[in-house]
């Protein structure tokens, strides 16, 4: 890591993945990139400062970039790039742009002729899918459902898909989601991933009804990744036998 102090970055937008919980999941390249970047765009400057302090990354220009200021913040970031500076984009946890702010900025940077460089690492989506006992040789990633308008229409659409469906949900809306899944999907098999990489990491397996019964008995904490089997899923044996055919 000593060489990272002399690393320089070309003017570009760097999409930097950060840990979703366990700080040991931070990659060497991510640390090097954040240390060398001229500016770091982040959802929550307080959260990012904690991360930077942990990895002894000092004296960084932090720019707030979130869902509510994407256009104005993107304009400032483009000014940094146009002046020959490098900018790293981070979210509060995991890989930016994947159900997190960043798409508008990525497109604007590319349209302006700047390189957009991925610095891969932790992702709640990849982590959950990698340990799923449900078939994920192909899956549909929905992320967060609309909270109101269009929510039921999306659920109806997802219920008809043959592939497994992956959703994100917050702890205070997870029981509502399970009720909606039960209404639209029936009592299919499901996996709930909670607090991944943290002390209380947990994976709940079973039917939708069983998952709801389990959660109703306790205080619900932590963000969820929800994987639901697809419509007309094959038997377990057939599914597992064919899981790797298309890799």
What CATH code is carried by the domain that includes residue 226? 3.30.950.10
pLDDT band at 234 (very low <50, low <70, confident <90, very high): low
Query: And the tokens for 121?
Result: 């690492």
Residue 195, exposed/middle/buried by CB under 10 A (0-12, 13-18, 19+)?
middle
| Residue 7 sits in the same domain as residue 69 | yes
Mean pLDDT on 136-151: 95
Query: Rounded to the nearest 5°, which phi and psi values hold at 102?
Result: 145, -25
Which of 122, 140, 157 is a domain's end point? 122
Domains contained in the chain, number = 2
Q: For residues 152 and 167, state if they share a domain.
A: yes
Chain centre distance of CA 139: 15
Share of the chain above pLDDT 70, in %: 92
pLDDT of residue 162: 96
Instruction: Report, as an integer, the average pLDDT of 96-105.
Output: 95
Compute the distance between CA of residue 16 and CA of residue 13 in angstroms, rounded to an integer: 9
Helices (H), the chain: 28-36, 45-54, 70-82, 103-111, 124-130, 151-159, 174-185, 208-216, 236-242
pLDDT on residue 29 = 97
**End position of a domain, from candidates 74, 89, 122:** 122
| CATH code (residue 16) | 3.40.1010.10
Helix 208-216 to helix 174-185 angle, to the nearest 10 degrees? 160
Q: What per-residue confidence (pLDDT) applies to 242?
A: 52
Domain extent at residue 9:
2-122
User: Which residues lie below 8 Å from residue 8, measured CB to CB, with a gap of 6+?
Assistant: 36
In a domain? residue 247? no
Asked whether the beta carbons of 103 and 67 are under 8 A apart, the reply is no
pLDDT of residue 55: 97
Residues 165 and 200 in one domain: yes
pLDDT at 23 over 70: yes
Res. 141: pLDDT tops 80? yes
Residue from 176, 142, 147 nearest 159 by CA: 142
Average pLDDT over residues 18-43: 97
Choosing from 122, 155, 188, the residue where a domain stops is 122
Contact 197, 21 (CB under 8 A): yes
DSSP symbols for 22-72? -GGG--HHHHHHHHH-SEEEES-HHHHHHHHHHTT--S-EEEE--TTSHHH
């Amino acid at each position: 890591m000593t060489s990272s102090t002399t690393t320089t970055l070309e003017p570009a937008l760097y999409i930097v993945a950060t840990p979703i919980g366990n700080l040991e999941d931070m990659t060497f390249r991510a640390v090097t990139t954040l240390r060398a970047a001229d500016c770091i765009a982040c959802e929550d400057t307080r959260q990012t400062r904690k991360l930077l302090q942990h990895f002894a990354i000092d004296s960084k220009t932090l720019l707030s970039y979130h869902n509510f200021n994407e256009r104005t913040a993107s304009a400032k970031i483009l000014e940094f790039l146009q002046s020959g500076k490098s900018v790293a984009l981070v979210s509060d946890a995991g890989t930016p742009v994947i159900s997190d702010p960043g798409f508008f900025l990525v497109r604007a940077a590319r349209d302006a002729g700047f390189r957009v460089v991925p610095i891969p690492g932790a992702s709640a989506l990849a982590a959950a899918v990698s340990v799923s006992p449900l078939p994920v040789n192909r899956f549909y990633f929905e992320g967060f459902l609309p909270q109101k308008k269009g929510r039921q229409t999306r659920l109806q659409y997802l219920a008809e898909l043959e592939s497994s469906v992956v959703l994100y949900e917050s702890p205070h809306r997870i029981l509502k989601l399970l009720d909606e899944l039960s209404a639209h999907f029936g009592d299919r098999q499901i996996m709930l991933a909670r607090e991944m990489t943290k002390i209380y990491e947990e994976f709940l397996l079973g039917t939708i009804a069983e998952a709801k019964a389990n959660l109703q008995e306790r205080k619900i904490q932590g963000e969820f990744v929800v994987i639901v089997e697809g419509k007309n899923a094959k038997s377990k044996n057939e599914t597992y036998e064919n899981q790797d055919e298309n890799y």
